[in-house]
């Protein structure tokens, strides 16, 4: 759909990715304009999403025939790159990637945004292992700007039936695509493959995929029905949220044996009556074993058995579960899995000890197994709030110290970061305005001086580089050529400089000038004086003249 550049935002010194938008040259003027308008509208809507696992869109810009999206740059690799590397992924590693992505998708869906292009190439993993979902608001753009011949088979393999048929899609289309990604990660194969577009489309719309257990016998038997539901042809038959799908996959009951099979068929001829008696004894022993196991599980899992006095409350006001031991059920040498109560005890201890990073991790792990667990949700909310407050306080302290020491650029950078975390922070807004105003004053005075020197040396290219409007540059080029061709020994005296700062990006500068020069035709010295007024705008980190009087 266009070229993607790695760039640098000079205002706050951050690396960005710049995705340019190409519209097919065959698109007529009216349709092209309508498409570009929709592109900008959808990208801006996606830019309002604020989630730690969604790539941030910083800006959407249209300048004449060029439209581009400026977004967060991720230093890492895509999930597609990880797949192509051939590195095998454990089932738990797969969930560690897809669980945050599923939460990000649910967040977007709750805000009325459908991704439309969920695939491994759009799941990025930074160097810290954090998965991020990219290209919200771009999928429909790609669909609209590509011809049928240019459609990519790789992308098509992840589309839902309603999407390939050109029907209206909703969040359940993304759930289907996420199911395709999960299928591929668990089996190493895509569920709908073919050598051409028509074959793939037919399979997506009409064919049920092969069971994942046919490819990977080590997977829990409960995974198959989850995949089948996620890849249902009709949206109403699928999971309605990504969280539901991940919760079903991570149910403890799905990770162990599901049934106990007893052979009750006819005895072999050679077994005779003694064999029948042994079978009855074996069945009786098996039944007795089942009763013991069920009774033991009841004693372990029953809250009354483990805590007859009922739950208590800790100092946070949250329900406090009493820990109950989990027996070692894995045979000799096996380690017991931590219980929910043990995990909650660790979570409480981390929060009370002000180890909020650890508390967040523990809470997220608990919620991965028990989505919607109210106590864990509350701890997660409070721990994140504490971390956010500490981050804001640190940035404010650093920014105000930078302001006092005269490092206004660093001050502005820190205050920008505060406002991304807390858009209504009055302290950050105040210092950001003061730092910007001081830096603008110095930069605009430098611009006036640079312009004075360029006019005295007849440096036309430098004078024109100060102009931020192509139309203005074209107009002023003629005026300056007349001045430079008609006069020599140009000298300027600048005085009474006044700058009015109008927000972060606009300003007005006025100053008095006296120009003395020698007129080439008669060799006489002439002088000109007056007042200049410049309308200025900050463009790409530099102040430019957009109008002058």
- Report pLDDT for 137: 56
- Report pLDDT for 455: 93
Which residues contact residue 321 at a Cβ distance below 8 angstroms, ignoring those fewer than 6 apart? 307, 311, 340, 341, 344, 345, 375
Distance between CA 313 and CA 502 in Å, rounded?
55
Distance between CA 89 and CA 79 in Å, rounded?
11
Answer yes or no: are the C-beta atoms of 209 and 231 closer than 8 Å: yes
Q: How many CB atoms lie within 10 A of CB 149?
A: 6
- Encode 234-248: b = buried (16+ Cβ within 10 Å), e = exposed: ebeebbebbbbbbbb
Count of positions (residues) in the chain? 549
Distance between CA 418 and CA 424 in Å, rounded?
9
Which residues contact residue 426 at a Cβ distance below 8 angstroms, ignoring those fewer than 6 apart? none
Which residues contact residue 141 at a Cβ distance below 8 angstroms, ignoring those fewer than 6 apart? 1, 21, 39, 42, 43
- Report pLDDT for 310: 42
- Report pLDDT for 447: 93
Say if residue 231 is exposed, middle or buried (CB neighbours under 10 Å; 0-12, 13-18, 19+): buried
Out of 1.10.260.40, 3.30.70.1150, 2.70.70.10, 1.10.510.10, the CATH code matching 4-254 is 1.10.510.10
Answer yes or no: are the C-beta atoms of 203 and 194 closer than 8 Å: yes
Distance between CA 303 and CA 282 in Å, rounded?
34
Q: Give the position of tokens 């027996």.
A: 327
Q: How many CB atoms lie within 10 A of CB 62?
A: 13
Structure tokens given for 70: 């400026």
Question: Domain-by-domain residue ranges, the chain?
Answer: 4-254, 436-548
* 3-state SS track over 439-492: HHHHHHHHHHHHHHHHHHCCCHHHHHHCECCHHHHHHHHHHHHHHHHHEEEEEE
- Report pLDDT for 23: 67
- Report pLDDT for 105: 93
Q: How many CB atoms lie within 10 A of CB 25?
A: 6
Say if residue 189 is exposed, middle or buried (CB neighbours under 10 Å; 0-12, 13-18, 19+): middle
- Encode 416-440: b = buried (16+ Cβ within 10 Å), e = exposed: bbbbeebeebeebeebbeebbebbb
Q: Across-strand partners of 4?
A: 19
- Report pLDDT for 158: 93
Distance between CA 459 and CA 210 in Å, rounded?
72
From the list 133, 31, 17, the residue with the least C-alpha distance to 75 is 17
CATH 3.10.450.50 fits 436-548, yes or no: yes
- Report pLDDT for 212: 93
Q: How many helices (H) and strands (E) does the chain have?
A: 19, 13
Distance between CA 210 and CA 187 in Å, rounded?
10
Distance between CA 511 and CA 513 in Å, rounded?
7
Distance between CA 427 and CA 11 in Å, rounded?
20
Up-side HSE of residue 485: CA atoms within 13 Å toward CB? 6
- Report pLDDT for 37: 78
Structure tokens given for 206: 């009409």
Q: Across-strand partners of 543?
A: 538
Answer yes or no: are the C-beta atoms of 189 and 212 closer than 8 Å: no
List the strands of the sheet with 131-133, edge to edge. Answer: 76-78, 123-126, 131-133
Q: DSSP 3-state assignment of 405? A: coil
Distance between CA 384 and CA 311 in Å, rounded?
25
Q: DSSP 3-state assignment of 350? A: helix
pLDDT in tens, the chain (549 residues): 678 899 998 877 889 999 888 765 455 666 777 777 777 777 777 778 888 889 888 888 888 778 888 988 998 999 999 999 888 888 888 988 999 999 999 988 988 888 888 999 999 998 888 899 988 755 454 444 443 333 444 478 999 999 998 888 899 999 999 999 999 999 999 999 888 888 999 999 999 999 998 888 888 888 999 999 999 999 999 999 998 998 888 775 444 333 333 333 444 444 444 444 444 444 444 444 444 444 444 434 444 444 444 444 443 444 444 344 444 434 444 444 457 888 889 989 999 998 988 898 899 888 888 888 888 889 999 999 999 999 999 999 988 888 888 888 889 889 988 998 898 898 898 888 888 878 888 889 999 999 999 999 999 999 999 998 888 888 889 889 999 999 999 999 999 888 887 767 888 999 999 999 999 989 999 999 999 999 999 887 789 999 988
From the list 269, 373, 281, the residue with the least C-alpha distance to 319 is 373
Rounded-to-10 torsion of CA 235, 238, 240, 242? -120
Q: Which residues are catalytic?
A: 117
Q: How many CB atoms lie within 10 A of CB 130?
A: 14
- Report pLDDT for 9: 85
Q: DSSP 3-state assignment of 6? A: strand
- CA dist 525 → 275, 490, 517, 519 (Å): 129, 10, 6, 6
- Report pLDDT for 26: 52
Q: Give the position of tokens 């490819």.
A: 215
- If you compute the radius of gyration of the chain from its CA atoms, what whole number of angstroms results? 34
């Amino acid at each position: 759909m266009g070229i993607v550049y790695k760039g640098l935002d000079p205002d706050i010194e951050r690396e960005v990715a710049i995705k340019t938008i190409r519209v097919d040259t065959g698109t007529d003027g009216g349709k092209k304009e309508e498409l570009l308008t929709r592109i900008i509208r959808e990208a801006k809507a996606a830019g309002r999403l604020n989630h730690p696992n969604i790539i941030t869109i910083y800006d959407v810009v249209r300048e004449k025939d060029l439209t581009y999206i400026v977004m967060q740059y991720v230093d890492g690799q895509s999930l597609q790159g990880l797949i192509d590397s051939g590195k095998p992924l454990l089932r738990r590693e797969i969930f560690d990637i897809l669980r945050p992505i599923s939460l990000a998708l649910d967040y977007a869906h709750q805000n009325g945004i459908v991704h439309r292009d969920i695939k491994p190439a759009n799941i990025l993993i930074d160097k810290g292992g954090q998965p991020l979902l990219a290209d919200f608001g771009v999928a429909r753009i790609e669909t609209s700007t590509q011809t049928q011949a240019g459609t990519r088979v790789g992308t098509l393999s992840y589309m839902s039936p309603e999407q390939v048929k050109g029907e209206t899609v909703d969040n359940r289309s993304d759930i289907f695509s996420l199911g395709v990604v999960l299928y591929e990660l668990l089996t190493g194969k895509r569920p709908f493959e073919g050598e051409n577009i028509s074959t793939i489309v037919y399979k997506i719309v009409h064919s049920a995929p092969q069971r994942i257990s046919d490819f990977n016998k080590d997977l829990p038997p409960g995974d198959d029905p989850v995949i089948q539901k996620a890849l249902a042809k009709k949206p109403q038959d699928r999971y309605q949220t990504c969280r539901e799908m991940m919760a079903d996959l991570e149910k403890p009951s799905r990770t162990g044996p599901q049934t106990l099979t007893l052979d009750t068929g006819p005895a072999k001829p050679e077994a005779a009556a003694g064999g029948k008696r042994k079978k009855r004894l074996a069945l009786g022993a098996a039944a007795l074993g089942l009763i013991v196991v069920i009774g033991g599980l009841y004693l372990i899992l029953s809250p009354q058995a483990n805590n007859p006095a009922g739950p208590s409350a800790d100092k946070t006001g949250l329900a406090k579960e009493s820990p109950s031991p989990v027996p070692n059920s894995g045979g000799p040498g096996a380690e017991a899995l931590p219980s929910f109560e043990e995990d909650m005890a660790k979570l409480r201890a981390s929060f009370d000890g002000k180890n909020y990073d650890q508390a967040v991790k523990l809470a997220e792990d608990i919620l991965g197994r028990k989505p919607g667990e109210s106590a864990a949700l509350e701890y997660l909310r409070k721990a994140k709030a504490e971390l956010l407050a500490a981050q804001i306080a640190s940035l404010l302290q650093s920014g105000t110290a930078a302001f006092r020491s005269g490092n206004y650029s660093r001050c502005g950078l820190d205050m920008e970061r505060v406002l991304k975390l807390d858009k209504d922070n009055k302290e950050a807004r105040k210092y950001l305005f003061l730092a910007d105003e001081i830096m603008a004053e110095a930069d605009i005075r430098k611009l006036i001086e640079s312009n004075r020197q360029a006019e005295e040396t007849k440096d036309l290219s430098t004078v024109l580089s100060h102009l931020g409007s192509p139309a203005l540059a074209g107009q002023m080029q003629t005026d300056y050529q007349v001045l430079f061709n008609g006069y020599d020994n140009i000298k300027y005296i600048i005085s009474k400089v006044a700058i009015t700062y109008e927000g972060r990006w606009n300003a007005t500068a006025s100053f008095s000038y006296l120009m003395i020069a020698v007129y080439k035709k008669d060799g006489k010295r002439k002088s000109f004086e007056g007042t200049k007024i410049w309308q200025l705008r900050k463009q790409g980190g530099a102040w430019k003249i957009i109008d002058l009087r």
